[in-house]
A and B are shown apart, each in its own frame.
Chain A
Amino acid sequence: MNQKPAVLILLSPSAPADLLQPVLWGMEEEGIPFEILQAANGSIQQLAKQAADTSPLNVGMAQGGDGMVALHHRDLPAETPLFSVDSKSAHPLNLRCVGINAARLVKGQPLVFYEQSELNPAPERAPDEGGSLLEELVALVLDELVKGH
């Protein structure tokens, strides 16, 4: 049924599809096409797996009536989707990461992880105090000596 090269997204009957928008933008920015289809009721893992199995790109997604989004790959066992995110509570940028990752899974490029990406900058570390620098150096040299060869 689905012959175009695209990531397939299956929606449960009552899925809040508008919440899925950031996921789609993620895929668009990465330049990978997608296709959205309505599906019958089913477990979200099963739906996502079914989407991945059907997609010519081997990557699929599903959104459940409760807003859960799962990202799946054809080679993965049905019960373990690669990522699952709750589209009702997740930050839009986190959802965008799911879309980016769906695309990167197709492209074979390193994935992004919301909690450590620039989209979510971690607090900057305080610069080292001058006093501890010498201690660090000493520890480093000793460490190297112990390691030896």
Chain B
Amino acid sequence: MAYIAGVDVGNNTTEVAIGEIDSKGEVSFLSSAIVRTVSIKGTIQNAMGVIDALDNALKPLAMQRKDLPLILINEAAPVIGDVAMETITETVITESAMIGHNPATPGGQGLAFGETISFDSLSSASSTGQWIVVIPGLTDFRAAAERLNEAMSAGMQIVGAIAQNDDAVLIHNRLLRPIPIVDEVAHIDRVPLGMPAAIEVAATGRTVEKLSNPYDIATIFQLDPEETRRIVPIARALMGIRSAVVIKTPQGDIQERRIPAGKLAIIGEQQKTEAQIDEGAEAIMLRVEEVSPLKEIRAEPGTNVGGMFEQVRKVMAELTDQPVHAITVRDILAVDTFKPQKILGSLAGEFALGNAVGLAAMVETHKLPMQRLARKIEEEIQVPCCVGGVEAEMAIYGALTTPGTRAPLAILDLGGGSTDAALITEEGAIRSIHLAGAGEMVTLLIDTELGLEDKELCEDIKRYPLGKVESLFHIRHEDGSVQFFQSPLDPRLFGRVVVLTDGGAKPINTSTGLDKIVAVRRQAKHKVFVHNALRALKRIAPAGNIRLIHFVVLVGGSALDFEIPKMISDALMEYAVVTGRANVRGIEGPRNAVATGLVLSHAERRAAS
């Protein structure tokens, strides 16, 4: 009879399983523990976390460290991933030619067409023209209204106004005749004067109709077909908002520009090819499939992706004490996405959606220096410690303790930097694979598409459901259910979309609605996790056929995600595969698979010898 501890040092968590092996080689598990991994996986700093986890597992058993005759740690294939974004189109407006923004409270309603004129030169304006008055922020709304009324009374045709302050309704309410007014135009000084302009304010709950239609803009400004083609980006940027201004300037030009984003060299074992990043994700992934199995991918230096490739390789080189040139990028995942971009030359911080490609890269080398860690642990606590088995195999053995499973079985571990999968056949042969693209990629996509530029917040958006604070005392969850609170919520949360983290509700400071954020989150998970799950399973499946895998078990932290397991299960439905979250030993859920596998395989080896 012997006690054995299996220890799995993961990127994120360190897990322990303690088992007792009887004389017949039967294992009974006594306890388990989980702590956060200390420092980067594979470094000797991990020892602190390991000892901590061991103590946690020993405590309920009233055992000492010295009661353990052996500690087994996993032999990890070191895999690191990273992500970058390459923008491939942008909208450039030379000579500010439009304002399309969404002030909460524009004034008046309707469409107006006239010539822009500064507030101060109203007195010198002719009474025959139609005028759109540009009101700077220093002008008090009462003075503005008074002056506009004077001009109107004098017979001038004031048809609309553009204001810098949030004053549109206040000005409008004091006018003799109603006109549409767009306000909160931050860079009012950039509005060109003496130019033909159109202004449109839609009714509450409606969006601009004319200025979002290229042909209506063409009608108003008498554009020829070529000019009409060029204003399409403007019309598109104005869709879905409540108020808009379009100004026609003689030299004004709008371009949708393609940005050269560099290319990738994709080198397979038999052949090699090239892909331009601006061809989009689909083309890139097609090439990857063509030359697969991959040996190496190289990116052009000087691009975001090239820089990211260098960085991952450098980190891996440092971690494993190898020269940088010995480390190669082994897999990539490209995903098409949109990036809201400030329009160059904008007046009120307008955005247009540019196309972008997100790229995840993965490097792997042969072995992490886990021996070094084993020696360190042995030194620290005076208990024999050795490397017990290959991580993927151990995870399979652990996962097979899930009730209701048998070989052929595949595990999927959707991590932060990489998607890992392994398969055990009926004969007991094990195959494993690591692919680029996982949780970090999802975070990047969410961040890019929502334009939040807050990684921590996006990490939370990925992990937790959303809600909307509808009153000082209640939140409506994204599924429609309502939660009431005894004490009032923070007024800073009021009316906002919030992420419901374990640490409480966190506001998302954006005008993007809850439904849109949910859609972006789900799409990002779908593009990365579902896509990669299928890609990984195809690579390890017998004859590349997912149908020949009978059981797929999700392990690791992301198996606990509130929606990923369902998405993957939905995608695998058509292959008639039993898919679900692991339940290691019938009690651990998706956790502890590797630690459990270490103990089990040790018992098997002992019985065999």
Contact = CB atoms under 8 A, between A and B. Distances in A.
A109 B558 contact: no
B80 A29 contact: no
B473 interface: yes
A145 B319 CA distance: 11
A44 B166 CA distance: 29
Contacts of B344: none
Given A31-B105, A31-B169, A148 B416 contact: yes
Interface stretch (B114-122, B273-281, B426-434, B488-496): B488-496
Contacts of B39: 146
Contact of B170 (A25, A82, A108): A25
Interface in A19-43: 25, 28-31
A107 B105 CA distance: 12
A125 interface: no
A1 interface: no
A119 B167 CA distance: 12
Contacts of A147: 12, 416
Contacts of B417: 144-145, 148
Given A30-B169, A148-B37, A148-B416, A111 B10 contact: no
A119 B472 CA distance: 25
A88 B562 CA distance: 52
B452 interface: no
Nearest to A25: B170
A113 B556 contact: no
B40 A145 contact: yes
Nearest to A105: B494
B173 A28 contact: yes
B472 A149 contact: no
A99 to B, nearest CB: 11
Interface in A98-114: 101, 104-105, 107-111, 113
A18 interface: no
Interface string B422-446: 0000000000000000111000000
Contact of B471 (A28, A108, A118, A146): A108
A149 B439 CA distance: 7
Given A105-B494, A145-B40, A149-B557, A75 B80 contact: no
Most buried by A among B41, B105, B496: B105
Nearest to B318: A142
Given A108-B495, A148-B10, A149-B557, A141 B416 contact: no
Contacts of B126: none
Contacts of B175: none
B265 interface: no
Given A76-B472, A108-B470, A110-B495, A149 B415 contact: yes
B2 interface: no
Interface string B445-487: 0000000000000000000000000111100000000000000
Contact of B416 (A28, A111, A149): A149
B11 interface: yes
B311 interface: yes
Contacts of A138: 311
B105 A30 contact: yes
B186 interface: yes
B10 A113 contact: no
Nearest to B11: A148
Interface in B509-561: 556-558
Contacts of B492: 111, 113
Given A104-B495, A149-B10, A73 B169 contact: no
B82 interface: yes
B82 A141 contact: yes
B12 A149 contact: yes
A137 interface: yes
A29 B315 contact: no
B61 interface: no
Interface in B89-144: 104-105, 141
Nearest to B474: A75
Given A75-B488, A110-B495, A29 B105 contact: yes
A72 B440 CA distance: 44
B55 to A, nearest CB: 22
Ranked 7 nearest A-B pairs via Cβ: A148-B11, A148-B12, A149-B12, A110-B495, A149-B416, A149-B415, A109-B495
Interface of B: 10-13, 37, 39-41, 80, 82, 104-105, 141, 166-170, 173, 184, 186, 307, 311-312, 315, 415-417, 438-440, 470-473, 488, 491-492, 494-496, 556-558
20 contacts: A29-B105, A29-B169, A30-B105, A75-B488, A80-B488, A82-B491, A104-B495, A105-B472, A108-B470, A111-B491, A111-B494, A119-B166, A141-B82, A141-B315, A145-B80, A145-B315, A148-B41, A148-B417, A149-B11, A149-B415
Given A82-B472, A101-B491, A142-B40, 6 more contacts: A82-B491, A110-B496, A118-B186, A145-B40, A149-B10, A149-B438
